[in-house]
Structure 1
């Protein structure tokens, strides 16, 4: 089931025009959220990021797009699922209405809410091998647009194909200054001793919801110091630990980069605190 502009439909019944601006011009933004125990994890953060993204892209935000209204629309969509107590991955996609070429005829929007079932009701840390490599064929351009969740994800797609072809679990993306920005599907944190580093938004990394939660958690831990700073590829092999964060998986520990193997001790400290924060938020 999906919610298309307020109407809950079977997937096969939902349709958009072939001149949809999200399809033709990438004129769309989205939020991917985790739903568990009948609540949307970090809903307010997702909502305000979506509103900020729509404003930056000069979309007209409907008057009824309040925090409460959109939460109710998501819950109404989820309730159409027979197992609505399950853990779900929810996607809220917004695009500018059809009309115009590069110059839109209107800034009004349409939206769709969809979901799929997740395997676990809370965040878990996998102990399986997770090898990463740099993706150097294309670069993320640092700047405000790179921090948004738009559907312009060609670098992530090509990087994912590269990872699959070369049997890596993930790739790390670089900006035009050859600095580490993020992974294909999340933000990156690097641990060296008691210092935890993550790239600043000015480097072009996604303004991730899970990144925000982890930064808040780490700042409360007296045994660690956090630095939002540029990370050079040369630093990776000197690190003790690297982990990737996103809203659906939480924390994913990297086990190997080239010849360097990593521990996951910091991730094990952070994960229960993250699960607690998600339940209490």
Structure 2
């Protein structure tokens, strides 16, 4: 069952109008949530990122879009799909409704819809001895700036980059901005490990303001023996790193095992995953 503006409907009855602004112009935002036994991981961070993104896009946020209201709608959707006592992947989508061309009309009203599906692993784990090869995606570049970091429905680079990766037998690709700095992977933020120095691109470079990125930075900041830096990463730094890993809320941490001829370990990533799971147990 799909939750459309609070009404549960079957997928067969779910019909998106061709006048929907999310469909016509990508005038929409979304959050991808991991939920285990009804607990939404990092819900507060997801909610405030969504609200901040809606303000940046100058959407009129409905008065009832409180954190409690949207959480209740997510729980309702999980129950309708028999996923309240299971591990689930949930997508919460908001769009500006219908009306207008590029300029929305005064009658355009924000919609939301929620889709839930089963997810296999309730815990964050790292599979050892599993190859994960990446390369740079250089056909198109992201513009630096906070607008590029919104989780909007405009994902052309991620789509064609994923097709490129699949055609060339890569598991993922790393995205560059117009300054030719590495900003992220196609499906998550990037971290670089070199001895005791941990580096991740700054939001100003155009990377996603990832919820898992925030969790990892908070975990790392507690270790006084580490030097954490949010700074631009050039492609030349990748082959000098001891480890590279990708972060997102659904998978947690994904160690990169190979970039071109350079191979990487995952010892540091394993330690961070352990701390991440411990953090979840305490919250």
What's the TM-score bracket when you normalise by the shorter of the two chains? over 0.9
**What secondary structure does 1:173 align onto?**
strand
Query: 2:2·2:11 contact (CA, 8 Å) conserved in 1?
Result: yes
CA distance in 2, matches of 1:226, 1:257: 23
SS in 2 for 1:51: helix
Per-residue deviation at 1:279? Answer: 3.3
Pairwise CA distance, 1:180: 0.4
CA shift for structure 1 position 129: 0.2
Distance 1:44 1:23 in 2: 27
Q: 2: CA distance between counterparts of 1:193 and 1:276?
A: 24
Any conservation in 2 of the 1:41–1:279 contact (CA below 8 Å)?
Answer: no
Are 2:201 and 1:207 aligned? no
SS at match of 1:32: strand
- 1:182-236 deviation per Cα after TM superposition (whole angstroms, max 9, x unaligned): 0000000000010000000010000000000000000001232110000000000
Any stretches of 5+ residues in structure 2 without a counterpart?
none
The match for 1:272 among 271, 274, 280 is: 274
Runs of 4+ in 1 over 6 A off after TM superposition: none
**DSSP-derived class of the 1:88 partner:** strand
1:114 equivalenced with 2:115 (yes/no): yes
Equivalent residue runs for 1:15-94 within 5 Å: 15-94=15-94
State how far apart, in whole Å, the 2-side matches of 1:60 and 1:158 are. 31
Secondary structure of the 1:77 match is helix
CA drift of 1:81 comes to: 1.7
Alpha-carbon offset, residue 85 of structure 1: 1.0
**Is the Cα contact below 8 Å between 2:81 and 2:116 reproduced in 1?**
no
Match of 1:238 in 2: 240
Cα offsets for 1:91-122 (capped at 9, x unmatched) = 00000010111011135200100011111111
TM-score (norm. length: structure 2): 0.97
**Native 8 Å contact 1:61 1:108 kept in 2:** no
Q: Distance in 2 between matches of 1:6 and 1:31?
A: 17
